[in-house]
Amino acid sequence: MLATTFVFAIQDGLSRYLATEYNTVLIVMIRYWFFAAFVVALSASRKGGIRRVAATSQPFLQILRGVLLVAEICVMVIAFVELGLVASHAVFASYPLMIAALSAPILGEQVGPRRWVAIGVGFVGVLIILRPGFSVFAPEALIPLLSAGMFAVYGLLTRYVARKDSAETSFFWTGVAGAVAITLIGPFFWMPIQPSDWWVMGLLCLTGAGGHYLLIKAYEVAEASTVQPFAYFQLVFASAIGLTVFNETIEIWIVLGVGLIIGSGLFTLWRERQKTQRT
């Protein structure tokens, strides 16, 4: 899981660089072409092939998941350009709290009072980062928050479809549906890519597929609740890249806010794991 977060952080840095030179939709489209090819090849190698892996009784939800994720990635890459890696990931770290808050009305799960308090504390951390009255009304400050909300809904839909579909089926639809969706609009944003930047694009594609492969392996050898807390290390790695490569800075408000968000997120994950074990 640590290797996964490191690879994804590199992917974010590459996305930030390319998005300053080229259209975001174009970058994500090319990345998804490679991702979809990886998903199809992986599915074909499984027992029963693509036909078995792709079989689902809830195609609409699976397609919705794929479209939502590719849209969320576009929004997050825009946030990287507008706010930088440090601030964007600081706000995005609130998505586990959003999942916990929305799991009650969407999935019908029971959220106890202690988890509600933790969720509230976490969102106080978000407000500290955004600083209402100072920068919260700037549109770019809300972009990573929108991305976190979209990813939270994607996570909830993933948990919902998991009641009937396997992880490999959801993974297949994530890549294929997302690639088809963005290909419908991507060509309208086409622009020539400099030969010197194609190696960066190639590395972006490799880190995307490699990160997902590592994530699959992590979930194969450990429960999701065990490795999920380590996902916060992506914030650490991405911030290091932002500081060293893009000369970004870390303000005290971000440190305080992130501390509250991560502390609250870890508590909600711990409480959810205890509930699952009791069940």
Quote the pLDDT of residue 134: 52
Residue 28 confidence (pLDDT): 96
Q: Which residue from 58, 150, 142, 62 is spatially nearest to 99, judged by alpha carbons?
A: 150
Q: Check if the beta carbon of residue 121 is closer than 8 Å to that of residue 56.
A: no
Range of the domain at 125: 2-278
Q: Which residues does the chain have with pLDDT short of 70?
A: 131-139, 224-225, 279
Closest CA to 144 of 86, 100, 186, 208: 86
Which among 40, 41, 43, 76 has a CA at the least distance from the CA of 180? 40
What's the pLDDT at 179? 97
How many independent structural domains does the chain possess?
1
pLDDT at 136: 42
pLDDT for the residue numbered 135: 45
What the block records as the tokens of 25 is 């939709």
Distance of alpha carbon 39 from alpha carbon 119, whole angstroms: 35
Q: Cβ of 82: how many Cβ atoms within 10 Å?
A: 16
